[in-house]
């Protein structure tokens, strides 16, 4: 009903803002909270966990990157394939990270791993969408978004799956379907952070399965994860989806370490 939408967007917008401000004042009176990064009082409507000033310091990386794996280059030079990708193409066609894993972005991503701070999925998802706005090679023709899954046991321990929260926010903003069930982690592997590059690749081999290949066949899938390190996790997920018939697999991550 268009009339109703008009009222919702027009008449009630200021009322909603006033309500939001009122709610924030009440919240401040009873449960004052502080930015988990810089410690200032969170007093703006909508501020959660990290203040708007700290979030504003999270900006996209300006350095050019490998047109294939998305690894940022040090120094000058336009986008081109890196030596590693020229040597051996990764199983994903195109990956983009939005920034380097450091500073406020690193702090925010570390906080985002705690279930009580999952609301950070909103600003992080928005950051991904804004940072990749011009990246047609990433977005064009995407049929479905699939978050890199955690193992069921790990998800239970943690209480939520951060890549899934992120994927949902990105999907909502881009108007794309998010289907976490299309990829499942079947082996609870040794944490990747404790391993060297070669061991990481062996560690993830066979760790994922695509239980519904009929929903993947012939489609362009976009993988979503929080941090990109060696690319072995994204690579293994992409191989699994490719084996199930995906036409193309791309990936986007918030940051690269």
Cα 19 from Cα 38, distance rounded (Å): 27
Interactions with Zn ion, residue window 76-115 (CB under 5 A)? 82, 85
What would the x/- binding string for Zn ion be over residues 209 to 238, using CB under 5 A?
Answer: ------------------------------
**Residues touching Zn ion: how many (CB under 5 A)?**
10
Residue 54 in contact with Zn ion, rule: CB under 5 A: yes
Cα 25 from Cα 80, distance rounded (Å): 51
Beta carbon nearer to Zn ion, 178 or 249:
249
Q: What is the CA radius of gyration of the chain?
A: 20
Which of 58, 66, 145, 183 lies at the binding interface for Zn ion (CB under 5 A)?
A: 66
DSSP assignment of 83-150, as one string? Answer: HHHHHS--SSSEEEEEEES-HHHHHHHHHHTSGGGGGGHHHHHHHHHHHTTT-HHHHTT--EEEEPPP
Which of 42, 49, 51, 120 lies at the binding interface for Zn ion (CB under 5 A)?
A: 51
Which of 58, 65, 69, 138 lies at the binding interface for Zn ion (CB under 5 A)?
A: 69
Cα 48 from Cα 33, distance rounded (Å): 8
Residue 148 in contact with Zn ion, rule: CB under 5 A: no
List residues near Zn ion by CB under 5 A: 35, 37-38, 51, 54, 66, 68-69, 82, 85
């Amino acid at each position: 009903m268009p009339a109703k939408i008009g009222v919702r967007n027009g008449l009630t917008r200021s009322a909603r803002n006033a309500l939001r401000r009122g709610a924030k004042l009440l919240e401040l009176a009873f449960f004052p909270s502080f930015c988990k990064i810089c410690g200032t009082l969170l007093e703006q409507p909508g501020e959660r966990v990290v203040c708007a000033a700290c979030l504003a310091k999270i900006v996209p990386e300006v350095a050019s990157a490998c047109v294939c794996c998305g690894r940022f280059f040090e120094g000058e030079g336009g986008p081109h394939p890196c030596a590693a990708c020229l040597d051996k193409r990764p199983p994903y066609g195109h990956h983009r990270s939005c920034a380097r894993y450091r500073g406020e972005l690193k702090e925010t991503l570390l906080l985002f791993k705690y279930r009580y701070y999952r609301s950070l999925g909103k600003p992080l998802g928005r950051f991904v969408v804004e940072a990749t706005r011009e990246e047609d090679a990433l977005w064009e023709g995407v049929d479905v978004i699939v978050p890199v899954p955690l193992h069921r046991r790990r998800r239970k321990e943690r209480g939520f799956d951060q890549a899934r929260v992120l994927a949902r926010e990105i999907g909502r903003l881009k108007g794309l379907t998010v289907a976490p069930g299309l990829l499942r982690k079947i082996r609870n592997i040794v944490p990747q952070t404790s391993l060297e590059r070669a061991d990481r690749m062996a560690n993830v081999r066979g760790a994922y399965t695509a239980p519904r290949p009929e929903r993947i066949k012939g489609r362009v899938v976009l993988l979503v994860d929080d941090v990109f390190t060696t690319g072995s996790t994204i690579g293994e997920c992409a191989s699994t989806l490719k084996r199930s018939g995906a036409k193309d697999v791309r990936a986007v991550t918030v940051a690269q370490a």
